[in-house]
């Protein structure tokens, strides 16, 4: 059985040599360059740690130095409390308030209407205002009926005037009369 060794590069130690030369053990399965890498990175980490500690204590040492100059122990760290006082502005004045209850406006009792539906019975002077009213005519083909009466009895002799309209119409209503309308469009006061 023959063993072949890989060719050696000029910068590398001969195979089987440890970091301290030939014959020093490199450990089980560790190549020779691992220890150097560990030392190199370990050294960088150690230096970084020391620098970080130095930076962290440098701001504290300035305070400690001030405290030492003031007569405190070098190891003790003084605590400082800063209290800020806000500048007082003008004090709001309290004025006496008066409660005012609004009185509702007197609403006038609504008077009799000046326009009304073309279907119903109304008392002139109470439900509707006295005057002359007009309508556009019937709502359907059966015509518009209106009736002026002296009372609400419905008797034939109570009728003052009546009419069946097939078109627009007018009627003058006097206070105290009863006005009956059927199938008419809306009535509106015109005088």
- Supply the DSSP string of 56-103, one letter for each residue: HHHHHHHHHHHHHHTT--SS----------PPP-PPPPP------PPP
Does the pLDDT value for residue 69 go beyond 80? Answer: no
pLDDT at 18: 55
Q: Kindly state the tokens that stand for 158.
A: 């109570």
Q: How many CA atoms lie within 13 A of 72 on its CB side?
A: 12
Confidence grade of residue 68 (pLDDT, cut at 50, 70, 90): very low
- Within 10 A of 156 (CB to CB), how many other CB atoms are there? 7
Please give the model's pTM, rounded to 2 decimal places.
0.44
Confidence grade of residue 151 (pLDDT, cut at 50, 70, 90): very high
User: Average pLDDT, whole number, for the chain?
Assistant: 78
Q: Kindly state the tokens that stand for 92.
A: 């709001």
Q: Which of 11-20, 85-94, 130-139 has the lowest mean pLDDT?
A: 11-20
Q: Kindly state the tokens that stand for 101.
A: 């209850």
- Segment 108-132 shows an average pLDDT of 90
Within its chain, how far is the Cα of 82 from the centroid? 40
| Separation CA 171–CA 136 (nearest Å) | 12
């Amino acid at each position: 059985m023959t063993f072949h060794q890989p060719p050696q590069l000029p910068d590398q130690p001969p195979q089987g040599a440890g970091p301290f030369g030939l014959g020093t053990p490199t450990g089980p399965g560790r190549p020779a360059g691992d220890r150097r890498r560990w030392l190199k990175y370990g050294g960088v980490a150690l230096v970084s740690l020391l620098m970080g500690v130095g930076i962290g204590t440098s701001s504290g040492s300035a305070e400690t130095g001030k405290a030492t100059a003031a007569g405190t122990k070098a190891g003790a760290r003084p605590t400082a409390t800063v209290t800020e006082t806000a500048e007082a502005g003008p004090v709001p004045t309290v004025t006496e308030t008066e409660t005012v209850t609004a009185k509702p406006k007197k609403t006038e009792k609504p008077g009799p209407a000046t326009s009304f539906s073309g279907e119903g019975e109304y008392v002139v002077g109470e439900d509707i205002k006295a005057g002359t009213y007009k309508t556009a005519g019937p709502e359907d083909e059966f015509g518009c009926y209106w009736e002026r009466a002296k009372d609400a009895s419905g008797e034939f002799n109570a009728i003052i005037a009546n009419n069946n309209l097939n078109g627009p119409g007018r009627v003058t209503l006097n206070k105290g009369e009863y006005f009956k309308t059927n199938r008419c469009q809306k009535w509106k006061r015109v005088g």
